[in-house]
Each structure stands twice: as structure tokens, then as C-alpha cells.
């Protein structure tokens, strides 16, 4: 696990995320190891392929029902090749979880462009969140606490989840200050957003009627409308009712 932390620290220091070398969601995963002819490929690309193949296998069959041999076979490599990139199956699961969390966290690491409201930035975050949860990494992210990972691994996962939660709350607070967002309870609003997006992993499957991008836009539409300031919010109830019905005040 110390090796995992060292690798992740190095990656964060260079400003790179795991998504940089992955194919777009929905496309077939192609093994970097050709069946007939072995070629020299970038070490990081191969490691990414191992992690992504594991995430897909865990998503399809479950963590406990998936073997290292099956993951290796899907990539046309041997079992020892998998162990060259990770120590064991538990580390593979951890890498899948961390990959997804890092992808969700990535928008919070970028400075908000000038002229962009907190609400617009939050929409961008929600789009990224929904698409990540709908990817093969989503199942691993939401089931991590139930799969028996070591305490040190869970501590790292919880720290990243806390950073994401704090990032959402910061954007909500900034939106309240710039007038683009209106909420009464930051904590509840943050929990509602994260909870709704996390639940996508429980029901979404690839190649269904909606793509990950379409689901993201649908969720943004729901939450963006709910966060929009209302001109009648502070009016007494009777006056709000008349305003909604467009009735003149006597």
C-alpha cells in the first residue's frame, strides 16, 4: 500500500489524472498486448488497461466472483503480467475506486475561469460526476465499503470522498455569495447531489436507452432548476400563491 500511495503522490504532483490515457466510455476496451506479436508499449498505458479491465470485470461479475485469471485472459496476457502492475486483487479494486474518485475530483482542482458563476462550475462538476459514476468505475466506487478493503485503503478512500464533499459545499457557498445559487442547508444540498449521482451506479448499464452523457444532462437539468434563485422566495405564502397564479393583489 505504501507503493500505491507513492505512485498516487507522484501522479498528483504532475497534475495528471488517470483519465488522461483511457478511451472514452462506451468504447470497446482494446488490450495493449497483441495476441500474436508483443510490442513495446508505455508502462502507464498498460497499467491503465489492467485497471480498466478489472473495473469492467468487477462491474459485470462482482468482485468476489472475478479472478485474476479472467482479467488476464481478457487482456490476452498471463497472470504474472497482471502481478507486474499490481500486488494482488485487493490492490486492483483499490485502484479502480481511486481512479473513479480522482476523475470526480478533477474539476475541483481546476481554477474557476473568470466570468463563470459558481452555478455554472457546479454544473460542469455534476456532468463529470455523473459520467464517471456511469462508467465502469462507478460500481467499484459505491461498493468499496462493502468489499472488505483494508483499513488503510478505506482511510484513503474516505479522505478523497471528503475532499469531493467539501468541494461541492464550497461551490454551493460561492454560488450563494455570487447570487447564482440559493439553498437553505449546504450540508443537505451536498448530500442530495452526491447521493443522487452515486445511485446511478446501482441501476445504469452500458448500451441501454440513455448514454452516460444523456443521464448527466438529465440530472443537471433537475438540479440546476432546483438551485435557481426564485424571485418570490421571500414573499409571504399568500402573496407567493397569487404570484404563481398571476392574480392581482387586491
pLDDT (tens digit per residue) in 114-137: 899 999 999 999 999 999 998 889
8 Å CB contact between 215 and 204: yes
pLDDT given at position 6:
47
Q: How far is CA 142 from CA 8, 47, 87, 127, 198, in A?
A: 20, 22, 23, 18, 7
Q: How far apart, in whole angstroms, are the C-alpha atoms of residue 135 and residue 142?
A: 12
Length of the chain: 250
Number of CB atoms found within 10 A of residue 160's CB:
18
The whole model's pTM is what? 0.70
pLDDT of residue 58: 93
Mean of all residue pLDDT scores within the chain: 79
Which residues of the chain fall below pLDDT 50?
1-7, 9-26, 35-36, 38, 233-250
pLDDT digits (tens, 9 = 90+) for 216-249: 888 888 888 766 665 654 434 433 343 444 444 4
Cβ proximity of 202 and 250 under 8 Å = no
Amino acid at each position: 500500500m505504501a507503493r500505491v500511495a507513492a505512485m498516487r503522490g507522484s501522479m498528483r504532483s504532475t497534475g495528471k489524472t488517470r483519465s488522461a490515457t483511457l478511451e472514452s466510455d462506451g468504447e470497446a476496451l482494446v488490450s495493449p498486448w497483441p495476441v500474436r506479436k508483443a510490442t513495446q508499449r508505455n508502462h502507464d498505458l498498460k497499467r491503465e488497461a489492467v485497471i480498466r479491465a478489472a473495473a469492467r470485470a468487477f462491474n459485470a461479475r462482482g468482485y468476489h466472483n472475478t479472478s485474476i485469471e479472467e482479467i488476464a485472459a481478457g487482456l490476452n496476457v498471463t497472470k504474472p503480467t497482471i502481478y507486474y502492475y499490481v500486488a494482488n486483487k485487493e490492490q486492483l479494486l483499490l485502484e479502480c475506486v481511486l481512479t473513479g474518485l480522482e476523475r470526480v475530483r478533477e474539476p475541483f482542482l481546476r481554477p474557476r475561469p473568470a466570468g463563470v458563476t459558481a452555478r455554472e462550475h457546479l454544473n460542469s462538476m455534476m456532468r463529470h460526476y455523473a459520467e464517471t459514476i456511469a462508467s465502469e468505475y462507478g460500481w467499484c466506487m459505491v461498493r468499496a465499503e462493502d468489499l472488505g478493503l483494508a483499513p488503510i485503503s478505506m482511510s484513503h478512500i474516505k479522505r478523497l470522498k471528503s475532499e469531493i464533499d467539501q468541494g461541492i459545499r464550497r461551490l454551493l457557498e460561492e454560488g450563494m455569495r455570487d447570487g447564482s445559487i440559493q439553498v437553505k442547508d449546504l450540508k443537505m444540498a451536498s448530500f442530495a447531489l452526491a447521493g443522487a449521482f452515486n445511485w446511478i451506479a446501482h441501476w445504469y448499464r452500458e448500451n441501454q436507452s440513455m448514454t452516460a452523457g444523456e443521464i448527466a444532462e438529465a440530472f443537471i437539468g433537475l438540479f440546476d432548476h432546483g438551485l435557481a434563485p426564485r424571485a418570490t422566495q421571500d414573499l409571504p405564502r399568500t402573496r407567493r400563491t397569487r404570484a404563481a397564479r398571476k392574480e392581482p393583489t387586491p
